[in-house]
Structure formats: structure tokens, C-alpha cells
């Protein structure tokens, strides 16, 4: 059984207590986020409701002395080879890749996009299926909003970790990220190149020139299916060379809505159309 520590620090947490409503809401949020992440680790698939988890069980373990410490137990019951045959992404459920996967998913979901995996297994999974990691992170946002509830209202930060080290520290900055503020109207003046694309979910990642960084994307409801080929064309160009070399025919004109965090940072974009930029 894997253990996940959740430590609340600062304010009344240092007196070994939490506000009943905010604290219980936060613990429920952690539990839901962990169930979504664990199901993805075990099965290589998304669930949108935490109780739908299959192949693993999560338990609330006895609390221990600390600022305010809650411990979760994760018991994986699925056979990894069976799950792998059904679309799973890991051949074994050992501690190192499990904790590394949880760290990567939680960090992506909280706006920490530049973190690199520590284990070869998660590194290979990220290289093959980075849009899947983005999809899991997006589904976790509602749970993480509940997780962050006590922060700023008597609690300074929440540490989530394994028995002897932290996986992530949640604070005011991450609370701002998970609380989505707005979706902008469609803008037609974006350009960029696709760096990852999942032909099944049709989600991916794109380097947006105007933002000077890579962001996740998904297709809007009215995205014209006839231009999907432009996405794979751009992806092929991105994977055929290094950087943004102009001789590679990979740039796209993008029409998209921007999904913003509470402070106005672009978290992802929703594509409504695209076309080759040099045609």
C-alpha cells in the first residue's frame, strides 16, 4: 500500500485543528483528486467522477501528530499486465513510478508546467502521451479547487507527499491557478505549431508565438473536422526539426478561446479553427 501525506500548515493548523467545513471540503478534494490520478495511473484512462475508480482502493488512515496531518492509503488491486492490454500505460505498479506520476499530474494541474519526471517509466509515458497528462490534470481542477479552500483563510499552505518527501506544496499561487476565472471570446490573431497531438481524443499541446510558451489545447464543439489534417501536418513539421526554424512548414494560424486562471494567465486554449500560416 502506498501512503500519501497531506499536511496543513500555518494559522490554526499549527494548533492541530482545521475549520470543520473548509477542512472537510479540502480533504474530500484531495481524496477525489487522488482517485482520479490513481485511476489514470492504473488504467491509462480518464474518469470524471472519483467514485468510478477501478483497480484500486483508497483509505483514510489514522491521523498523526503534526501541524494537521492526514494520511491516505492507496491499495492497487488491478493486475498491471491486464490493464496494459486494455490501454494502461505502465507495466508495473511500483512505488517510484506511482509517486512520480502523482507528482507530475498534481503539478500540471496546479500550473507547474516545467517539472520533469524522475523515473524512466513516467518519462516514457509523458513523451508518448503528454496530452493524456493534460487531460487528467484538467479533470482534477474541480477537486483541487475544494482542496485549496482553507488556504488564505487561516491556512498558509498544504503539503502533499510520500512518507519521506514532498510531492507538491499548494499555496495562494496554486489556488489562483486552479480557480479558473474566465474564457475569452474567440481571437483570430494567434499563431503557433503543434508539439503533441492525440488522434483519439484530438487534444494536444501547441507552442503559441504570442505567449512564447507551450499550452494544452482541445477542439471546440464547432471545430471543422476537415482541417484536422493541419494539426498533424504541423506536428510532423515540429518533430522533423529543432526549434522554430522558418524553413519547416509547420506554423498555423489559430482561432481560439483562451481559458484563464483567476489572475489572467492562459491555462489552455480551445481551438475553433486553424489553417497553415504560409499558404
pLDDT digits (tens, 9 = 90+) for 70-88: 889 999 999 999 999 988 9
161 vs 109: CA distance, rounded Å: 15
pLDDT tens digits along 160-216:
999 889 999 999 999 999 998 889 999 998 999 999 998 888 899 999 999 999 999
Q: Compute the radius of gyration of the chain from its Cα atoms.
A: 20
Q: What is the pLDDT of residue 243?
A: 47
Can you tell me whether residue 196 is helix, strand or coil? Answer: strand
pLDDT above 70: residue 32: yes
CB 235 within 8 A of CB 217: no
- Strands, sheet with 69-76, edge to edge from the N-terminal-most edge strand: 56-64, 69-76, 2-9, 157-162, 165-170
CB 217 within 8 A of CB 202: no
Fold for the domain defined by 180-276: OB fold (Dihydrolipoamide Acetyltransferase, E2P) (2.40.50)
Mean pLDDT of 144-168: 92
Q: Could you give the residue ranges of the DSSP H alpha helices within the chain?
A: 20-43, 80-85, 95-109, 120-139, 141-147, 172-178, 228-238
DSSP state of 206: E
Higher-pLDDT residue of 214, 68: 214
Mean pLDDT of 96-123: 92
Q: What is the pLDDT of residue 236?
A: 83
Instruction: Please return the burial class of 52, using the count of CB atoms within 10 Å of its CB with bins 0-12, 13-18 and 19+.
Output: exposed
10 vs 23: CA distance, rounded Å: 13
pLDDT tens digits along 241-259:
544 445 555 899 999 999 9
Name the residue ranges covered by the structural domains of the chain: 2-178, 180-276
- Residues sharing a CB contact under 8 Å with residue 111, sequence separation 6 or more, in sequence order: 173, 174, 177, 178, 261, 265, 267
Specify which residues 205 forms β-bridges with. 196, 216
The mean pLDDT of the chain is 89
Amino acid at each position: 500500500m502506498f501512503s500519501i501525506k497531506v499536511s496543513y500548515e500555518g494559522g490554526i493548523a499549527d494548533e492541530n485543528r482545521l475549520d470543520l467545513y473548509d477542512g472537510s471540503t479540502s480533504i474530500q478534494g484531495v481524496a477525489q483528486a487522488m482517485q482520479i490520478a490513481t485511476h489514470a495511473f492504473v488504467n491509462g484512462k480518464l474518469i470524471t467522477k472519483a467514485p468510478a475508480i477501478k483497480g484500486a482502493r483508497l483509505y483514510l488512515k489514522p491521523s498523526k501528530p503534526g501541524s494537521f496531518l492526514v494520511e491516505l492509503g492507496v491499495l492497487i488491486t488491478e493486475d498491471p499486465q491486464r490493464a496494459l492490454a486494455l490501454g494502461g500505460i505502465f507495466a508495473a505498479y511500483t512505488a517510484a513510478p506511482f509517486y512520480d506520476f502523482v507528482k507530475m499530474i498534481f503539478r500540471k494541474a496546479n500550473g507547474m508546467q516545467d517539472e520533469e519526471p524522475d523515473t524512466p517509466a513516467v518519462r516514457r509515458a509523458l513523451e508518448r502521451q503528454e496530452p493524456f497528462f493534460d487531460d487528467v490534470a484538467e479533470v482534477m481542477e474541480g477537486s483541487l479547487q475544494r482542496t485549496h479552500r482553507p488556504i488564505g483563510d487561516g491556512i498558509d499552505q498544504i503539503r502533499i507527499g510520500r512518507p519521506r518527501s514532498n510531492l507538491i506544496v499548494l499555496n495562494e499561487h496554486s489556488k489562483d491557478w486552479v480557480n479558473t476565472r474566465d474564457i475569452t471570446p474567440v481571437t483570430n490573431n494567434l499563431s503557433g505549431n503543434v508539439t503533441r497531438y492525440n488522434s483519439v481524443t484530438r487534444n494536444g499541446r501547441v507552442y503559441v508565438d504570442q505567449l512564447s510558451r507551450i499550452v494544452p489545447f482541445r477542439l471546440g464543439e464547432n471545430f471543422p473536422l476537415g482541417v484536422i489534417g493541419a494539426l498533424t501536418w504541423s506536428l510532423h513539421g515540429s518533430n522533423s526539426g529543432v526549434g522554430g526554424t522558418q524553413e519547416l512548414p509547420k506554423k498555423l494560424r489559430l482561432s481560439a478561446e483562451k481559458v484563464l486562471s483567476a489572475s489572467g494567465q492562459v491555462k489552455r486554449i480551445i481551438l475553433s479553427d486553424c489553417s497553415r500560416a504560409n499558404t
